[in-house]
Structure 1
Amino acid sequence: MAGNPTDFLLMACHITGVYDVNRNTTLEPDDYRLVQEWAESVAAAKIKGVIFHNNLSPKTCETYTNAYVSFVGIDYNPTFNPNVFRYFVYRDYLEKHALETRGVFVTDVSDVVLVNNPFEDQRFINQPSAIFCGDEDKPLHNEWMRDHAAHLREQIAEYAAYENRFGQDTLLNCGIMGGHTSVFMGFLEKLCALHERYNANNKTAYTGDMGAFNYLARTQYTDQIISGPPVNTVFKLYETERTDCWFRHK
């Protein structure tokens, strides 16, 4: 997939001022340090990167914008928690830029770092129908996911059957996902439709992003999913010296 570096895109969201259920805190509004490592790793690889944000100051954005990484202000919609709202942001942006984007990844911004350019890897190039994503060293059927998916289980009639079918399969992690734009755009649209229909009224302490992502990936894309090496390091092992994967996820 040789081409201009601007054909490829990495996106991340940094939404602050809203209680973060995963960190049990509210992030400071204008703290560039939380996105710095992501931004620097993307710029070092000379890939186009976009950080969507709702509270970074104009000065911060101007200071850290460069030839590769830019900042785009957004209006946060509290109908959805930040973990879910980001997918609508990515979908809307990609809809406007799909024709000029051949490959795309969307990732967490504060705990994911780019290690190697995925778009130059033959394993990406030669698998145009794949959905590449992160994963965890545990099965889908685990206590956290059972709690996380309580709301979706009540909303989606087939959800419990899906959990039983794929319970022993690897838990996929939506902190890293991407693919060739022609396929990934459809995946994003379906993911947003799931959240619009089933997750807008989620009043639980869990965001539902992992539940909806795994449900969609396993039920509609199970033969197209590629996770683990070369996509991601082992989640939460903090493998800072590892250089054989595209992304390091904690």
Structure 2
Amino acid sequence: MSKKYNKIQLMKHTVAATFAIFLTTGAAAPFALAQDTERPVLTVDDCVKCHDAAPQAIESAGGKHKTEVTCIDCHEGHPPKNTDIIPQCSKCHTDEKHFELEGCLGCHTNPHTPLKITLADNLTEPCLTCHTDQIDQLKQNLSKHTEQSCTTCHTAHGELPSCTNCHTPHSEDMVQSDCLSCHKPHMPLQVTYPDDTPSKLCASCHQTAYDLLMANTTKHHERSCADCHKSQHKMIPKCQDCHGVPHPEDMMKKFPICGDCHGIAHDVTK
């Protein structure tokens, strides 16, 4: 073949290769760009057309995932641009110190229902990273509650158990609010009570004193337990708190103890 023919063939191959490169790069780029720019911006209304279960879950127990973020805030683009389609919790939750098990999903099993927290049996340490006041109260006010794990009472996160799950009520008509009016769950032996606490509640432990008071015919019969034992459990009042100094000084010196003549306060004899 002549040199001229070879030169023509080389030019043909060069042009063909250049055109192929142009098609796969320069020409394709505007096409891809056009696809990206023409893709509509999705809204939550678009998401729920196919994904109906997730919105229902968020509506029931979504917490801030319901009120402060949308589908698009976590799931960027559709279809996703990479294989990691499930967003990392740390994308948003980075500022607040929190307990770490093997991962967030150890407690928050479903990101669409983050408030439905699954708790293992005999769990305490993870709870303490948020609930510090409660453990301080338990340690500073020792009781049988101190010996229990958090999940002994709180079988589900955020659940406030009924005291009567473990404790026999003081009376048949007691309700949870009655228990809490005297006993704080994390310091149950530090008993405080309002002035209008019915005496029959006290009678569940102090039955003998209650029976004597109910049978007594003096004005003490008309008083409630809380009238004398004010606010603080095991507080023993002095007779003088109500009666002042009822007798002449000489008589008080001779008989300084009121009970020597009048008996005990629950069964005043005269």
State the TM-score, normalizing by the size of structure 2: 0.19
Larger radius of gyration: 2
Which protein has the bigger helix share?
A: 2
